[in-house]
Amino acid sequence: AFLKWYREAELIHGRWAMTAVVGIFVGQAWSGVPWFQAGADPSAVAPFSFGTLLGTQLLLMGWVESKRWVDFYNPESQSVEWATPWSKTAENFSNFTGEQGYPGGKFFDPLGFAGTIKDGVYIPDTEKLERLQLAEIKHSRLAMLAM
DSSP letter for each residue of 37-57: GGGG-GGGGTTS-HHHHHHHH
pLDDT digits (tens, 9 = 90+) for 111-136: 878 888 788 777 878 898 889 889 99
Cα 54 versus chain centre, distance:
20
* 10 annotated to bind ligand: yes
Question: What's the pLDDT at 36?
Answer: 83
This prediction has a pTM of 0.68
- Indicate the length of the chain as a whole number: 147
Supply the pLDDT for residue 19.
94
Q: Which helix (H) or strand (E) holds 122?
A: strand 121-124
Annotation-wise, does 13 bind a ligand? yes
141 known ligand binder? yes
DSSP single-letter state for residue 86: T
- pLDDT confidence of residue 87: 53
- Ordered by where they begin, the domains of the chain are 2-146 (1.10.3460.10)
User: How many whole angstroms separate alpha carbon 74 and alpha carbon 52?
Assistant: 33
Q: Is the pLDDT of residue 109 over 70?
A: yes
pLDDT band at 93 (very low <50, low <70, confident <90, very high): low
11-20: buried (b, 16+ CB within 10 Å) or exposed (e) per residue? beebeebbee
Interval 16-49: pLDDT, tens: 999 999 999 998 899 888 888 877 766 665 677 8
| Residue 45 neighbours by CB under 8 Å, 6+ apart | 53
